[in-house]
Amino acid sequence: MAGSLPSPEQRDVARALLAKAHGDEIVLTKLIEDVDVPDDILGFHAQQAVEKLLKAVLAASGVPFSRSHNLSYLVGLLNDAGIELPGGIVALEGLTPWAVEFRYDESSHAHLDREATLQVVVATRVWATGQANLET
C-alpha cells in the first residue's frame, strides 16, 4: 500500500528532515574517531540521523507517521507502503536504544561499533536522498 502523493507541505517537511539529519551526520563524522567522546553521544546522533532520514522518505512519499524514536516502527511504515530498505542498512533498527535508553541509563555499558554505525548512517542517507527525490 503506497502512500498518497505528497503535498507541498509534506515535501517541505521531508526537506527539513533531510537537512536536520545532515547536521546529525556532521556531528557524528567529526567526532567518530575521538575516543574522549562517549558512545552514547555518538549513538544518539546516529539514531537521530537515521530516524530523520526514514521520516523524510515517509513524508516525501505521502505516508503519515507519528512522533516516535522507534526505528522498527518507521521501517514497518515503509514496508507497509511498499518501500524497501536495501539489505546493507537493515541493521539500523539496532540504533533505537541509543535515542533514549542508552543515553539516560547510567548502568548501561552498551558498546557502539563506531565504524559500522557511520556506514549505516551514510548508506541510509544515500538511500533516503534517492527515495525522497529531494535535495537538502
| Domains of the chain, start order | 8-132 (1.20.120.330)
Measured distance CA(49)–CA(43) in Å, rounded: 10
Measured distance CA(49)–CA(105) in Å, rounded: 21
* Tens digits of residue pLDDT in 120-131: 999 999 999 998
* Tens digits of residue pLDDT in 19-53: 999 999 999 999 999 999 999 889 999 999 999 99
Q: What type of residue sits at position 91?
A: A
Among the residues of 61-113, which ranges form H helices?
A: 71-80, 101-104
- CA angle (60, 103, 59) in 5-degree steps: 5
Measured distance CA(56)–CA(71) in Å, rounded: 13
